[in-house]
Amino acid sequence: MTILVTGGAGYIGSHTVVELLQAGHTPIIADDLSNARADVIDRIETITGQRPVFYQTDCKDAAALRRIFSSHPIDAVIHFAAFKAVGESVKLPLKYYRNNLDTALTLLEVMEEFGCKNFVFSSSATVYGPNNPYPYREEMKAIESSSPYGWTKVMIERILTDYCTAKPDFSAVLLRYFNPIGAHESGLLGDEPNGIPNNLMPYIGRVAAGQLEKLTVFGGDYDTPDGTCQRDYLHVVDLAVGHLKALQYCAAHKGAEAFNLGTGSGVSVLELVNAFQSANGIDLPYTVGPRREGDLPAFWADASKAKTLLGWEAVHTVEDMCRSSWNFAKNAR
Ligand code: UD1
């Protein structure tokens, strides 16, 4: 299949492009490089021996998208391109709503013009909001979030669901990611946020590399087994493979369908810190500080729907995630 991958130079997008190429698909990357580096395309070529077609494009630019659709027989779109910093979205909500909603709507309009009917959407566990009990299951009411970033995911899920109702031959798969960490085994692709990282594993990587002094564990007094928050961390390569399974499902079905992509187990911050230390033989300085506003104590996926309907299941261990994260972070520039 020929697949337009928006945000294909980013963290999850680049790993997905590698899996697509290795499975014999033709990914076409559209990325404005606002939060990714151009040399990711070179690194994808080094890993796969194939250079994906790349357009430096803002997906809000309908004319640019039309040129891409005119030049390639696009069978499906995997839509990663979005702003994703939760804290920034609270401070700059209009930036997030404008970019994330406009991008999705522009893409859908151009897809309609060109008769493209398969859409895989990069959603998030954040759509379950603060009030659902865990493990999260897809049939739970998923119409809430705790940040403008999260609300854009809720809203785009809604837009896609309504669009599928109006267009019965359209297919949308909504992938609700839990917490992706880890990196490609080559050490060439990984999570490299600009500035000081907000997310746990990139922060751990910078501390391990000596670029930041120590990790602050946000809260040690939660009602969890060791007092720190629990999350469902999954390896980014497992997540990338989930997109291939979603594409197959998308091509064979109609309508909108949501899937959790997670491992189905919770791991605490301290468990992850300890796993990182023992997997890599590194001492990681940390202190336990106050809670971070907006964090939920614990959540993880019920991952059974993806296993049953997509034939997908996470296979990498927490140790794999910690080892590959460090293998990437220690060489990151
Ligand atoms: C957040 C978003 C999620 C998004 C994900 C990746 C929400 C509710 N969640 O998840 O939608 O997909 O980021 O971008 O909006 N921690 C520390 N110290 C640190 C950093 C983090 O202790 O320096 C802890 C946090 O308190 C949390 C865990 O590590 O318990 C994971 O945090 P993080 O990696 O930021 O992901 P989430 O907040 O779970």
pLDDT tens column, 236-258: 999 999 999 999 999 999 999 99
- Tell me the pLDDT tens digit for each residue of 69-106: 999 999 999 999 999 999 899 999 999 999 999 999 99
Cβ-contact 125, 153 below 8 angstroms: no
Please report the atom of ligand 1 found closest to the CA of residue 180: 6
- CA distance readout (Å), 24 to 20, 41, 92, 98, 204: 6, 17, 40, 35, 35
**Residue 163 Cα, ligand 1 centroid: separation in angstroms?**
31
The answer on pLDDT for 158 being more than 90 is: yes
Q: What is the mean pLDDT of residues 292-316?
A: 96
Catalytic residue chosen out of the listed positions 11, 149, 177, 249: 149
Residues of the chain with pLDDT > 70: what percent?
100
Sign of CA dihedral 137, 138, 139, 140: positive
Atom 8 in ligand 1: residue holding the nearest Cα: 126
Calpha distance 207→85 (Å, rounded): 20
- Ligand 1 binding pocket mutation candidate from 86, 175, 221 (most atoms within 8 A of CB): 86
In sequence order, what are the residues at sequence separation of 6 or more whose Cβ sits closer than 8 angstroms to the Cβ of residue 84?
35, 149
Calpha distance 251→249 (Å, rounded): 5
**Residue 172 Cα, ligand 1 centroid: separation in angstroms?**
27
Mean pLDDT, the chain, whole residue set: 96
The answer on pLDDT for 333 being more than 80 is: no
Is 124's C-beta closer than 6 angstroms to any atom of ligand 1?
Answer: yes
pLDDT at position 36:
94
Is 217's C-beta closer than 6 angstroms to any atom of ligand 1?
Answer: yes
Q: What is the mean pLDDT of residues 189-201?
A: 93
Is 231's C-beta closer than 6 angstroms to any atom of ligand 1?
Answer: yes
Cβ-contact 4, 78 below 8 angstroms: yes
pLDDT at position 178:
98
- Tell me the pLDDT tens digit for each residue of 203-239: 999 999 999 999 999 999 999 999 999 999 999 999 9
Cβ-contact 290, 219 below 8 angstroms: yes
pLDDT at position 146:
84
Is 86's C-beta closer than 6 angstroms to any atom of ligand 1?
Answer: yes
Is 147's C-beta closer than 6 angstroms to any atom of ligand 1?
Answer: yes
Please report the atom of ligand 1 found closest to the CA of residue 292: 26
331 band by pLDDT with thresholds 50, 70 and 90: confident
**Residue 292 Cα, ligand 1 centroid: separation in angstroms?**
9
143 band by pLDDT with thresholds 50, 70 and 90: confident
Calpha distance 150→157 (Å, rounded): 11
In the annotation, is 149 catalytic? yes
Strand partners, 171: 118, 255
Please report the atom of ligand 1 found closest to the CA of residue 218: 22
Sign of CA dihedral 250, 255, 256, 261: negative
141 band by pLDDT with thresholds 50, 70 and 90: confident
**Residue 38 Cα, ligand 1 centroid: separation in angstroms?**
27
The answer on pLDDT for 294 being more than 90 is: no
**Residue 200 Cα, ligand 1 centroid: separation in angstroms?**
6
The answer on pLDDT for 194 being more than 90 is: no
